[in-house]
A and B are shown apart, each in its own frame.
Chain A
């Protein structure tokens, strides 16, 4: 059974940093594209970033380029999102998702950027 479990969310001040983790089980991270998708509570879904199975390609939405970094660790079968220079508008629930078509999702972790 595929499982994705996010962690690392919390309250951070504007300009601060946070690292999100997504522990995967039931499949190997090295065989699927993996994404981060976020959702402001009560609003729609926004794709943030994704990474090729071998880590050789990474893509980002324009609003996070230069501030967020997606990475994966095949030994730990985990996906990460390093978020720097956080802004109030980055406040959202962050989900990790498996595959180009986002076949499976974690339960999400809430990131709140506020002073």
Chain B
């Protein structure tokens, strides 16, 4: 199974900060990586697919990059609505696997 390791597991940031979350795959997954945002009590929401493609309707402050084993999600200017938990997920091979999540909190 491919292990997805996210770092950090949590972070505190201020409004307007640039935030970067890292996801590392235990083996190469090409660009078959997605990022999701989840707020408490809500379903996950797709942000990025194929490592760097922005899902329709998602603001351009979110961006994704990487290929192979190392990937990043960047939020260019953190806003109040961005405080949530973020997950990465690989869909290169079965079983599909998620990272453990990164909780973004207000500083």
| Tier of interface size on chain A | 20 to 34
B87 on the A face (CB < 8 A): yes
B44 contacts A101, C-beta separation under 8 Å: no
- Which listed residue (A47, A95, A103) contacts B95, Cβ 8 A? A47
> Looking at A44, A50, A108, which has the most chain B CB atoms within 10 Å of its CB?
A44
A112 on the B face (CB < 8 A): no
Question: Which residues of chain A have C-beta atoms less than 8 A from B87's C-beta?
Answer: 44-45
Q: In the assembled complex, how far is the CB of residue B71 from the closest CB belonging to chain A, in whole angstroms?
A: 13
- Scan B72-107; emit 1 where CB is below 8 A from any A CB, else 0: 000000000000000101010011111111000000
Residue in chain A with minimal CB distance to B1: A62
- Scan B28-44; emit 1 where CB is below 8 A from any A CB, else 0: 00001010100000011
Give the dominant DSSP class at B's interface.
loop
B43 contacts A103, C-beta separation under 8 Å: no
Question: Which residues of chain B have C-beta atoms less than 8 A from A46's C-beta?
Answer: 98
A103 contacts B46, C-beta separation under 8 Å: yes
B98 contacts A50, C-beta separation under 8 Å: no
Q: A101-B34, A102-B34, A103-B49 are in contact. Are A45 and B44 (CB under 8 A)?
A: yes
> Looking at A44, A101, A108, which has the most chain B CB atoms within 10 Å of its CB?
A101
**7 additional A-B residue pairs with CB within 8 Å, beyond A45-B36, A102-B36, A104-B46:** A45-B89, A45-B98, A47-B98, A95-B43, A100-B32, A101-B89, A103-B49
